């Protein structure tokens, strides 16, 4: 009886926690993604799939990796700080935060200086097959972006510190600052376009890099102000205090940075092989953005609110409660991501044309991005599921296996990237008959994420967390069947009725088609009993 009452109490607590925080997280993240979408529309119109945006994507690899993995929300630094600071009071939490900030900043400043003076060498290593012009532009942009590296450390720390105090909205809305800054810079370049060649190189070629740096700096200032306001910034700190807490954070950061950053680390590998294809970096960036926008909302809405709860369950050694919450999270993860996969495959034409096809983004660019989008869509469920599993591992402070599986994934990605673009050997040609071009690079990531998900799932039993793998597989198959039926019906309707050539007509048809697909998917998953989402409240 007591156990039932305790479980009921936990369910009420969890419902209250999610109710109070999911809305603010979803709303803030949605605004950030909307700003990011508008930013990409402006970038597409200004740069298309040209050499300048190609070069920027290579220049941004290293700073972007650090901004996402170290400075990103849901990143290892963020989650480590949430795990360690949540049980502490504000005074002690502020001391730990300050000490970690000082040490991490010194480390990242040294790294930034090293990258600045070796920018040309790094671009050559990352993109050996780029044109000379693209390499020169990428090296110039990388130098501009290097100050983002030390800034990323405090941004990641502040995300974790704010969330440990249940301050979710600012963390969710912060990325919009860089997007809005980029939009502002592009508008200025259109208004004050210079004819002078030097000015053109300075303002147009380096525009995206300067905009990103400015936006990151503004984001840093806003967050440091908020940290100070809630009393977590301690300018006077004894570096000898709370050594155990510091050690825990660093012990979590290092392996988790590799584990959770599998897809980001593999960006280095993917971009290396993509440099052989003209415009590939730009196409990958546009396609990836369309996928990451809804994925970011899902990740922050489904995973982020669970992190402090998982941390408390782990502290209480309540592995049964943790197991139940994780299983529920997995079911919702696949329910939503399989829907997204079907949606992007069905409506890829309408999405790319409506979002990007204007200005410098012509028909050939649109065709390239459509194929890339379909390939990305196939891997959506594995991407988010891996994200959930990795975060579960390092929140229970079991980072060894994710580290090993991530390392294996990197090796596998090198092989599949190479194999799926024809297995090229210098002076010998292609060894494999399967050359899928840029799409092959994406399919490689899909295969690797799938393998890593299987490894992480089955190993959880060694951490005292037992997943009903066969039951989950059955539900995933039924969800996929529902998505396939919905996609087939909607695609047939598209083929027979969509003759509109106007953007408004395409937009209205996309809205109608999306609602139809959602209704079919929701109805079928309910009938197949794999959808526990409720659209009404039970009366008490």
Q: How far apart are CA 449 and CA 493, in angstroms?
A: 33
* Any domain includes 423: yes
DSSP β-ladder status, 429-430 and 424-425: antiparallel
Burial class (CB in 10 A: 0-12, 13-18, 19+), 458: exposed
For the chain, the distance separating the N- and C-terminal CA atoms, rounded to the nearest angstrom, is 21
* Any domain includes 493: no
H/E stretch holding 377: helix 363-378
Q: How far apart are CA 389 and CA 202, in angstroms?
A: 44
| Exposure b/e, 122-154, CB count within 10 A at least 16 = b | bbeebbeebeeebbbbbbbbbbbbbbbbbbbbb
* Any domain includes 514: no
Q: How far apart are CA 430 and CA 419, in angstroms?
A: 9
Q: Give the count of beta carbons closer than 10 Å to the beta carbon of residue 312.
A: 15
Q: How far apart are CA 242 and CA 529, in angstroms?
A: 50
* Any domain includes 515: no
User: Residue 246 belongs to what domain range?
Assistant: 2-467
Q: Give the pLDDT of the chain (540 residues) as one tens digit per residue.
A: 444 444 443 443 444 444 445 566 667 777 887 888 889 889 988 888 878 888 999 999 888 877 777 656 666 666 666 666 666 666 666 677 777 777 778 888 999 999 999 999 999 988 888 888 889 999 999 999 999 888 887 777 776 667 666 666 776 777 788 899 999 998 888 887 654 444 454 456 889 999 999 998 998 888 877 777 776 666 555 555 556 666 666 666 666 666 555 556 777 888 888 888 888 888 888 888 888 878 877 877 777 776 667 767 776 777 777 778 888 888 888 999 999 999 999 998 888 888 888 877 878 888 888 999 999 999 999 988 988 888 888 777 777 888 788 888 889 999 999 999 888 887 777 787 878 888 999 999 999 999 999 999 998 888 778 888 888 899 999 999 999 999 999 888 877 776 666 677 778 888 888 899 999 999 999 888 887 765 444 443
Cite the DSSP H helix spans in 396-539: 400-420, 438-459, 469-497, 503-527
* Any domain includes 540: no
* Any domain includes 325: yes
Show the CA angle centred on residue 414, arms to residues 409 and 415, nearest 5°.
95
Backbone angles phi, psi at 44, to 5 degrees: -60, -45
> Given this model, what pLDDT does residue 52 score?
87
* Any domain includes 204: yes
Q: How far apart are CA 429 and CA 436, in angstroms?
A: 15
Q: How far apart are CA 503 and CA 357, in angstroms?
A: 10
DSSP 538: P
**Residue 359 token pair:** 């200005």
**Residue 88 token pair:** 């502490």
**Residue 53 token pair:** 């945006």
Q: Number of folded domains in the chain?
A: 1
* Any domain includes 510: no
Q: How far apart are CA 471 and CA 478, in angstroms?
A: 11
């Amino acid at each position: 009886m007591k156990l039932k009452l305790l479980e009921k109490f936990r369910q009420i607590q969890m419902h209250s926690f999610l109710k109070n925080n999911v809305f603010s997280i979803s709303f803030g993240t949605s605004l950030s993604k909307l700003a990011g979408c508008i930013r990409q529309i402006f970038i597409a119109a200004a740069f298309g799939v040209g050499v300048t945006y190609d070069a920027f994507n290579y220049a941004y690899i290293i700073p972007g990796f650090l901004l996402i993995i170290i400075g990103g929300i849901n990143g290892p630094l963020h989650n480590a700080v949430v795990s360690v600071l949540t049980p502490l009071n504000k005074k002690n939490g502020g001391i730990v935060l300050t000490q970690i900030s000082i040490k991490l900043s010194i480390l990242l400043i040294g790294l930034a200086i090293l990258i600045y003076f070796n920018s040309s060498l790094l671009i050559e290593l990352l993109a050996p097959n780029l044109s000379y012009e693209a390499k020169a532009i990428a090296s110039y942009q990388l130098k501009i972006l290097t100050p983002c590296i030390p800034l990323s450390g405090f941004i990641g720390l502040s995300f974790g510190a704010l969330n440990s105090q249940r301050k979710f909205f600012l963390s969710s809305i912060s990325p919009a600052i860089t997007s809005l800054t980029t939009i502002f810079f592009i508008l200025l370049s259109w208004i004050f376009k210079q004819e002078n060649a030097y000015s053109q190189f300075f303002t147009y070629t380096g525009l995206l890099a300067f905009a990103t740096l400015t936006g990151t700096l503004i984001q840093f200032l806003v967050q440091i102000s908020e940290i100070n306001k809630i009393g977590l910034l301690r300018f006077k700190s004894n570096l000898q205090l709370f050594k155990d807490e510091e050690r825990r954070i660093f012990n979590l950061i290092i392996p988790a940075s590799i584990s959770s950053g599998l897809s980001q680390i593999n960006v280095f590998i993917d971009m290396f092989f993509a440099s052989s294809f003209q415009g590939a970096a730009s196409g990958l960036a546009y396609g990836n953005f369309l996928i990451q926008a809804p994925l970011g909302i899902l990740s922050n809405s489904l995973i982020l609110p669970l992190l402090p709860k998982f941390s408390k369950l782990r502290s209480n050694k309540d592995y049964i409660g943790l197991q139940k919450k994780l299983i529920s999270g997995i079911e919702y993860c696949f329910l939503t991501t399989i829907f997204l996969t079907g949606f992007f495959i069905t409506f890829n034409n309408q999405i790319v044309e409506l979002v990007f096809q204007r200005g410098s983004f012509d028909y050939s660019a649109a065709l390239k991005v459509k194929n890339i989008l379909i390939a990305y869509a196939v891997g959506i469920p594995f991407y988010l599921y891996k994200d959930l599993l990795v975060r579960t591992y390092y929140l229970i402070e079991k980072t060894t296996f994710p580290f090993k599986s991530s390392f294996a994934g990197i090796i596998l990605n090198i092989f599949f990237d190479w194999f799926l673009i024809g297995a090229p050997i210098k002076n010998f040609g292609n060894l494999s008959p399967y050359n899928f071009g840029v799409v092959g690079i994406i399919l490689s990531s899909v295969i690797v994420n799938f393998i890593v998900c299987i490894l992480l799932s089955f190993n959880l039993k060694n951490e005292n967390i037992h997943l009903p793998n066969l039951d989950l597989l059955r539900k995933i198959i039924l969800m996929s069947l529902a998505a396939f039926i919905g996609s087939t019906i909607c695609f047939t309707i598209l083929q027979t009725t969509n003759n509109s050539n106007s953007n408004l007509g395409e937009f209205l048809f996309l809205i109608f088609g999306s609602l139809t697909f959602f209704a079919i998917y929701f109805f079928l998953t309910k009938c197949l009993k794999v959808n526990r989402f409720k659209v009404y409240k039970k009366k008490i």
